[in-house]
Amino acid sequence: MNYPKKLQIAILAGLACASSLSAVVVSTDSAEPTDGVFVSYVPSTAVGNSTAYYRGEPAPNGNLYRNIGQSFRVDSSDFSMTSVTWKINMFSEDIYDVGFSIDIYQLDAVNVAPAGAPISSQTGVMPNSLTSGEYITFVLDSSVEMDLGETYLVMFAFTEPTTTTASASGALGLDRTEGNVGYHGRLWNYLYDADTDTGNYVADSKTLNFYVQGTSIPEASGSSMFAFIALAAAGVAYFKRRGHRAA
């Protein structure tokens, strides 16, 4: 259909605006998630606290920011990840309305650091109200496919300073185990040193209280597979016939 030029421009502008509004959506709840949970761990012992922060200026030792996350192996089935939930241990109001990213990596093993770029990096803005002890859920703008038997790491990072000084007080603290509880995943920290302009991943034997949610990926039905094979065979036969005619 041919639209007038002015209308075409308006449509393109609207699409660009809609695209710019797409982002990770944050919600909180007093109850833990139960729907669509494919991977999770809930500490059964005393909990500790791991924090993410972004200093306004480097600390004396060069540390500027710390990202935190959780690695895990997919043991149930293939699925499309739609959100991740952690439990809030503590926070500072300095993190209200601050930008963040959710970065997802595929790993060789739960205790092996990422070797390259994330398979997904999505951004959002923190809400202007939080409550300690509640669950905070980050709903992805685009789902991420996860395969049975593979290992992944989901990292949370502030993308802008949470304080104006070298203090790390502007932080989000998440519940974790106090020690090694035998879970196959790992709590991960990423520490960035501004003096050397380098970052370092550190795997911890502790585990965050976390829930990875998603939707099942339906398997191809037998009839669909048969139709595909039949179509492929017909295609091969067709090209063979054309080859004979050309000869």
H-helix or E-strand spanning residue 142: strand 135-146
Tell whether 214 is covered by a domain.
Answer: yes
- The dihedral region occupied by 66, where left means phi > 0, alpha psi between -120 and 50, and beta the remainder, is beta
More confident residue, 131 or 242: 131
Strand 47-54 vs strand 99-107: parallel, antiparallel, or unpaired? unpaired
For the beta carbon of residue 188, count every other beta carbon within 10 angstroms.
25
Tell whether 148 is covered by a domain.
Answer: yes
Up-side HSE of residue 33: CA atoms within 13 Å toward CB?
26
The C-alpha atoms of residue 203 and residue 221 are separated, in whole angstroms, by 40
- The dihedral region occupied by 36, where left means phi > 0, alpha psi between -120 and 50, and beta the remainder, is left
pLDDT at residue 119, rounded to an integer: 98
Tell whether 207 is covered by a domain.
Answer: yes
Tell whether 239 is covered by a domain.
Answer: no
On average, the pLDDT of the chain sits at: 86
* pLDDT tens per residue, range 35-81: 999 999 998 877 899 999 999 999 999 999 999 999 999 999 999 99
* pLDDT tens per residue, range 92-147: 999 999 999 999 999 999 999 999 999 999 999 999 999 999 999 999 999 999 99
Domains in the chain: how many in total? 1
Tell whether 197 is covered by a domain.
Answer: yes
The C-alpha atoms of residue 80 and residue 215 are separated, in whole angstroms, by 5
**Full domain range(s) for residue 165:** 25-233
The pLDDT confidence band at residue 223, using thresholds 50, 70 and 90, is very low
pLDDT greater than 80 at residue 86? yes
Tell whether 132 is covered by a domain.
Answer: yes
Tell whether 125 is covered by a domain.
Answer: yes
The C-alpha atoms of residue 247 and residue 243 are separated, in whole angstroms, by 6
Q: For tokens 């012992």, name the residue.
A: 45
- The one-letter amino acid at 83: S
| For residues 220-238, average pLDDT | 50
The pLDDT confidence band at residue 89, using thresholds 50, 70 and 90, is very high
Widest pairwise Cα distance in the chain: 79
pLDDT greater than 80 at residue 247? no
pTM: 0.81
pLDDT at residue 7, rounded to an integer: 36
Tell whether 6 is covered by a domain.
Answer: no
Q: For tokens 């939707």, name the residue.
A: 215
User: Which tokens hold the place of 196?
Assistant: 């050397």
pLDDT greater than 90 at residue 176? yes
pLDDT at residue 44, rounded to an integer: 82
